[in-house]
Amino acid sequence: MSRRQAELAMKQMLMSGYGHYSRAEENKAFNAFLKGIDTQFEYSWSEFPLAQQPLRAIKNHLICFVAVTCRYAADLGADDERCYALSDYYINEIENRADIQNWKDMILEISQHYVEQVRLGSEKKYSLPIQKAVRYIRQHLYETCRLQDVAAAIGVHPSYLSSLFKKETGVSLTHFVREMKMNEAKNMLRDGEYSESEIAEMLGYQSLSYFCKVFREVHSCSPREFAMGEMGLAGELST
């Protein structure tokens, strides 16, 4: 095993038509499922197996699935220790199986267990109005998402929501929306599928200059600097 061999293998896979789903697609699918927005979750194996032996390949895919699901669940508010304890348990269970013909059932069991952890984490951290507000913000991230809009959607007075949101989350609703949008902008820039102006428009910013200003305030660099940094890292890995 060597870096040179890994780079060569990567290039050969890309040249052969390797079509892995994008990070944006992964983020959308896992977030929607773990938050209960989309209950029809499909996990498909890559056309490129993760091992030559079929059983080993399935085990490797399942282990990757557990690791990714664990981290998404923790990011969505599930208890970290519970998430990682479940991850360790399932990985060992997968590794100890003599055969895994029922891998679809295992995917379903693991997924539902982490969905429950996300739900418990949300209930433990926030009151029902704030849970609804956060859910609305995540579902409408590509819209303006003003305080008045969120309050109307969940059926409370804007002043009450503003006060309660600050009390429970430690930040204002406006600040929370801004952070969520800028994190999404960073993910979109990393994917490289959209320009700065397209991302600004998609996230509800009518002014590109204002979008760039907010991005710098949150991430301490401009969108272009961030994108160039990502490209530079990718270039280093390909040399």
Higher pLDDT, 42 or 214: 214
Question: Hey, what are 37's tokens?
Answer: 């927005």
Same domain, 136 and 185: yes
User: Across 12-21, 27-36, 166-175, 185-194, which has the greatest mean pLDDT?
Assistant: 166-175
Angle at 158 between CA 155 and CA 162, to 5 degrees: 115
Q: How confident is the model at residue 164 (pLDDT cuts 50, 70, 90)?
A: very high
- The answer to whether the beta carbons of residues 33 and 7 sit under 8 Å apart is no
Angle (CA) 223-227-230 rounded to 5° is 145
Shared domain check, 186 and 98: no
CA dist., res. 171 & res. 226, Å (int):
25
Query: Which of 91-105, 122-136, 203-217, 221-235 is least confident?
Result: 221-235
Higher pLDDT, 223 or 54: 223
pLDDT value of position 129 = 92
- The answer to the question of residue 180 being in a domain is yes
**What CA–CA distance (Å, rounded) separates 63 from 107?**
10
- Distances in Å between the Cα of 3 and the Cα atoms of 20, 51, 104, 232, 236 are 21, 19, 34, 18, 12
- Looking at residue 177, its pLDDT comes to 94
Residue 137 pLDDT greater than 70, yes or no:
yes
Question: What confidence category does residue 234 fall into, taking pLDDT thresholds of 50, 70 and 90?
Answer: very low
Average pLDDT of span 84-109: 87
| Inside any domain, residue 4 | no
In the DSSP assignment, the letter for residue 143 is S
Please give the tally of structural domains in the chain. Answer: 2
Domain boundary (91, 125, 159) is at: 125
Give exposure, 25-55, as e/b (b: 16+ Cβ within 10 Å): eebebbbbbbbeeeeebebeeeeeeeeeeee
Residue 52 lies in a domain: yes
Task: Output the domain CATH number for residue 207.
Answer: 1.10.10.60
Q: Is residue 96 part of a domain?
A: yes
3 state DSSP class of 39? coil
Is 230 domain-assigned? yes
pLDDT, one tens digit per residue, over 178-204 is 998 998 998 889 888 899 999 999 999
Using pLDDT thresholds of 50, 70 and 90, give the confidence band for residue 74: confident
Choosing from 102, 125, 148, the residue where a domain stops is 125
Token pair in block for residue 91: 């990985």
Confidence at residue 24, expressed as pLDDT on a 0 to 100 scale: 76
Tell me the angle at which helices 103-125 and 128-139 cross, rounded to the nearest 10 degrees: 120
4-8, 147-151, 176-180: which is most confident: 147-151
Q: What is the pTM of this model?
A: 0.50
Calculate mean pLDDT across residues 78-85.
86
Residue 165 has pLDDT above 70, yes or no: yes
On the question of pLDDT at 118 being above 80, the answer is yes
Considering the domain boundaries, does residue 9 fall inside one?
no
Domain presence at residue 187? yes
Looking at the structure, tell me whether residues 148 and 65 fall in a common domain.
Answer: no
What is the overall mean pLDDT for the chain?
Answer: 83
Predicted confidence (pLDDT) at residue 37 exceeds the cutoff of 60? yes
Rounded alpha-carbon distances, angstroms, from residue 216 to 166, 219, 220: 23, 5, 5
**CB distance 161 to 133 below 8 Å:** yes
- In terms of residue numbers, what domain contains 224? 128-238
Write out pLDDT tens, residues 207-223.
Answer: 999 999 999 999 899 99
Residue pair 28/193 in contact (Cβ under 8 Å)? The answer is: no
Task: Fill in the amino acid letter for 18.
Answer: Y
Q: Is 160 exposed, middle or buried (0-12, 13-18, 19+ CB in 10 A)?
A: exposed
Looking at the predicted structure, is the pLDDT value of residue 14 above 50? Answer: yes
- Residues 167 and 207 both lie in one domain: yes
Last residue of a domain, one of 125, 141, 161: 125
Contact indicator for 133, 173 with CB cutoff of 8 Å: yes
pLDDT over 70 (residue 48): no
| Residue 59 forms part of a structural domain | yes
